[in-house]
Each structure stands twice: as structure tokens, then as C-alpha cells.
Amino acid sequence: AQSVAQPEDQVNVAEGNPLTVKCTYSVSGNPYLFWYVQYPNRGLQFLLKYITGDNLVKGSYGFEAEFNKSQTSFHLKKPSALVSDSALYFCAVREAGYSTLTFGKGTMLLVSP
Amino acid sequence: DTAVSQTPKYLVTQMGNDKSIKCEQNLGHDTMYWYKQDSKKFLKIMFSYNNKELIINETVPNRFSPKSPDKAHLNLHINSLELGDSAVYFCASSQVETEQYFGPGTRLTVT
């Protein structure tokens, strides 16, 4: 069975500071990992993914994520937060060869001016 | 030029009614999905179709029935609506083994 944990319900950061949103996963085989963002009353938008290759993945809007196999983590990062980054962020995992995508419970990111 | 579209955006109905939500994607993807997002924002897969064939059918009441007339469309029909069906329903699509693209959602309120 595959699962995802996002340990923080909310992350608060000041504009201009670096941000990290944490995600750990559990799968039997090789993981495919994804980050999505959801703005209020909107659908989920794809940010970035890790399938294979470099452990540091760059995505949309200046976000990046680091795949750490030994810690089974895939934390989302951004060097300098913007107020407009405030939204709900979801980490998701799918085991290679399987179709089902399992989402974490989401982490609300609040960036203060 | 919307990639994944859903209609209606809002749906308010009474218990016991039957309703449908439509989804269309113009991305040329082979696989389409329905998700339910509850009031706590938790997302759960309901169904998945690949080339009009059902490949995922999670534990969902049989009052929910997906229909895929072609690769670009996946509709969700719900019979005998209950209060607990109130949620936001998202359609998504993808190619095999790639990221999913989501529609804007349909907020269903059952009174």
C-alpha cells in the first residue's frame, strides 16, 4: 500500500524568506512523487514531479523539491516566498506501474507581507 | 482553451434527486479520473478510466456511476443523493505514468 504524510497542517513564513513544506511517503517499489497547489475555489495545479534522475527537481513559479530516498521524503522548497504563494499544497505519490495517485492531507501555506 | 472542463461549477439539489456532472478534456490524454474532496480538503480517488475502460473503482456507493462515451469525456451520475454526498468533485486527466491535470471542480450541495 502507498501512503503520504504531510506533518504540518499550516506553515507560516514572511515574504522574502525561504519556505519548506514537508512530505514523506511510503511505497513498496519505486515512487513517482508530485506536488500540487490549490488556490481557493480552484482546481489543483501541477507544480513539479520526481520520476527518476536528479534528486533536485525544479518546477513552476520558482518551486523546487528534493527527493531523499533514505529518508523517504520529498520536501517542497522555495528560496524566497511571495504573498501570492499562499495556498493549499498537496504532496502525492504513485508507485511505478500503478495508476492510483495517493494524496497527502494538504498543508496550508500562509505568507505574510 | 481550458484543458479540463467540468459542468456545472455549482450544483444545489435536494436529497433523493439524481444528478450528473460532465467532464471534458482537450489534452488528448488516455486516462481520466474522478476525485472527491471533502470539507476537510481531503482528496480521494473515486474512479479512473483508460481509453473508455474502467480501471479503478474505489469503494464508492453504487449510487455513483461513471460513464465514458469517448476518450475525451468522463461523466459522473449520482442517484438518490444523500447529505453526505455534499463535496467538491474534481475531474482529472493524464497520459499513462505522467502527472494529472485537474478541472476547476463542481461544488455539490445536497439539502
What pLDDT sits at residue B60? Answer: 87
Pick A40 or A112 by higher pLDDT: A112
What value does the CA radius of gyration of chain B take, rounded to a whole number of Å? Answer: 13
What pLDDT sits at residue A53? Answer: 86
Interchain pair A99, B43: CB under 8 A: no
What pLDDT sits at residue B59? Answer: 79
- Which tens digits make up the pLDDT trace of B68-85? 999 999 999 999 999 999
Interchain pair A90, B100: CB under 8 A: no
Q: What is the mean pLDDT of residues A96-112?
A: 90
Pick A37 or B49 by higher pLDDT: A37
Enumerate the β-bridge partners of residue B4.
Answer: B25
Q: Does the structure show a pLDDT above 90 at A97?
A: no
Interfacial B residues in 60-99 facing A (CB < 8 Å):
90, 92, 96-97, 99
Residue B2: pLDDT band (50, 70, 90) is low
Give the C-alpha separation, B7 to B90, whole Å.
11
What pLDDT sits at residue B91? Answer: 97
Look at the block and give the residue holding cell 520529498.
A74
Residue B65: how many CA atoms within 13 Å on its side-chain side? 9
The three cell numbers of residue B35 are: 476525485
Enumerate the β-bridge partners of residue B76.
Answer: B21, B66
- Which tens digits make up the pLDDT trace of A2-19? 899 999 999 999 999 999
- Which tens digits make up the pLDDT trace of B45-71? 998 888 878 877 777 889 999 999 999
The three cell numbers of residue B31 are: 486516462
Look at the block and give the residue holding cell 482553451.
B1
Give the C-alpha separation, B104 to B60, whole Å.
22
Give the C-alpha separation, A29 to B70, whole Å.
33
Q: What is the mean pLDDT of residues B102-110?
A: 96
* CB nearest B102 (choices: A43, A88, A106): A43
Say what the alpha-carbon torsion angle A57, A110, B34, A64 is, to the nearest 10 degrees.
Answer: 0
Q: Angle at the Cα of B68 (from A3 to B6), degrees rounded to 5?
A: 75
What pLDDT sits at residue B1? Answer: 63
Give the C-alpha separation, B18 to B35, whole Å.
19
Q: Does the structure show a pLDDT above 90 at B9?
A: yes
Under a CB-based contact definition with an 8 Å cutoff, are residues A89 and A107 in contact? yes
